A and B are shown apart, each in its own frame.
Chain A
Amino acid sequence: MIRFRPFLFAALMLLSGHAAAEKFTIAAAADLKFAMDEIIARYKQDHPADMPQVIYGSSGKFHTQIQHNAPYDLYFSADIAYPRQLEQAGFAASPVRPYALGRIVLWSASIDASKLTLASLSAPAIRRVAIANPRHAPYGKRAEEALRASGLWAKVEPKLVYGENIAHAAQFVQTGNAQIGIIALALALNPVLSRQGGYWLIPDTLHEPLEQGFIVTRRARDNAAAHRFADYMGSAAARAVMAKYGFVLPGEAGKTR
């Protein structure tokens, strides 16, 4: 133990040095996995002193956790209703800002889904269809709405498997355990997934809009870096990344890919 003391001391110095830098934690909906990674990488180049870290998961889970004082400084939800609820309950240190409209797609790793439609899901050859859990994942809710609006729910429901969040559902499809899934366009456009299969954009007339919003949380009200990052989301650089991943941006509604 004694031998390690100088090392430990150095490590502690290093850690405390980092603590002086501006650190903040982002809780982001799983559909942002690739877009947010890229935005953060660019943000770090522009703001080398800031140290963002990001956690991806289901919007509903983060909503619960923030109500129980989870250490998240920014919360990006796939459903703007969650941050609105938090704002009303006094958990926000910023107004709720819409940042994107999400889209859902049919995606498969083994079939070219661009040649399919929702009706193809009722074919007997399709045995498992992955969606996010509609009870708490916004993308799952929209998937259910689209299936119901197409009159396919009764036929497709017995084939459904539920991911904990939209990335989990995409992973079921990517490993081939479900032949097809309804996932976020943003995930289908990432380099790994877009190399396989193909996707079919589900018409947004079949479901409620996936309006996405974020807040700076109450615990971060004095965290300058967290507010800096919030502002950065409106920058041309961040918007370019979001657009690349298929998000429709606020102020550009109506424009579809």
Chain B
Amino acid sequence: MARIIVVTSGKGGVGKTTSSAAIGLGLALKGHKVVLIDFDIGLRNLDLIMGCERRVVYDFVNVINGEASLNQALIKDKRVSSLSILPASQTRDKDALTKESVGKVLDELSQSYDYIICDSPAGIEAGAMMALYFADEAIVTTNPEVSSVRDSDRILGMLASRSRRAEQGLEPIKEHLLLTRYSPKRVAEGEMLSVEDVEDILSIPLLGVIPESQAVLKASNAGEPVILDTESDAGQAYQDVIERLLGETVDFRFLVAEKKGIFSRMFGG
């Protein structure tokens, strides 16, 4: 049985797809069999972030409609053989997915994969509800900013009431907080909510803090998930997220602003 993990947020543009890509690839690099599913029907983007956009032939909706088999639609990652991507349809709309048909696809994937990562669309409509419905765990991606935190709380409500686990009275979805675009410098200056602030408000366990980083844009430009950039702060922070997902205890890094030494001040280093 696979662990089904939804990467969700409510608000758009907070880093769901970036995080899905990094986490999916990171778990696969650890030797696990991982499938990444893009649930954003009509606005496919995971393929771009993963760098496999030119290899999309069939998509999720084709599989649902029986126009292609899962094996035909799954794209094997060129970097890590244990990772596959199931792209969203670019032409259909969100109503193409039903609980029954999505459940069947997930069941089938569950036989051969260890992790199923569901990259949720923004919002709280049908598409987002479908992405979280079957989840065992949820990574609630949040920026330290008022509207994102509020929307995350709303999504937490949905996880607790609208998921399969809630409807069937099973053990609730395991929730994780992933704080992204964190700027320790601005936190120190009192301009940004701190990790503790967001934890206080949402009161769910912290999975990771990804610092605001230029590496993220570079990674998406190149179609190489940022976790591959092992030199970068964001890449390393995602690496820590993987360790924690796998049950390790890892200290949180990149929470304090780097102090500029006198030399870098003088020479602009």
Pairing of A with B = no
